Amino acid sequence: MDTESALAALSALSQSTRLDIFRLLVRHEPDGLPAGDVARCLDVPQNTISTHLAILTRAGLLTSQRQSRLIVYRASLDRLQDLMLFLVRDCCAGSPELCAPLVANLGSCCPSGEPCP
């Protein structure tokens, strides 16, 4: 990931509704959610959700797939990984032991290899 791509992703996530959408869709991996369900879960009007979904999609943080009459959105976990790695690539100035708490906290996100809720 380059700086411009990272800035686009961070900019898309810097608005509270979009951050909520992304976090909701991460929790619903790998199946994703239809746009209407996202709107209902977050109690946001459909037209507002559409705008936010478009911004997140343009930033590469979401993918969408038409299933019959629905458009199902999914979080792009590959893009999230790229962004996280971009942010911590030079972690602790080459002293990886200083990053151990960060790695431990990320590891506890999904204990025992269980899928995230």
Contact 56, 79 (CB under 8 A): no
Tens digit of pLDDT for each residue in 65-109?
999 999 999 999 999 999 988 888 777 777 777 777 877 777 766
For 43, which DSSP code? Answer: T
Contact 66, 75 (CB under 8 A): no
Instruction: Please tell me the distance from the alpha carbon of residue 83 to that of residue 89, in angstroms, as a whole number.
Output: 10
Per-residue pLDDT at 114 exceeds 70: no
Q: Say which amino acid occupies 98.
A: L
Name the pLDDT band for 113 (thresholds 50, 70, 90): very low
Domains in the chain with CATH codes: 1-109 (1.10.10.10)
The sign one gets for the Cα dihedral 109, 80, 37, 33 is: negative
pTM of the predicted model, to two decimals?
0.84
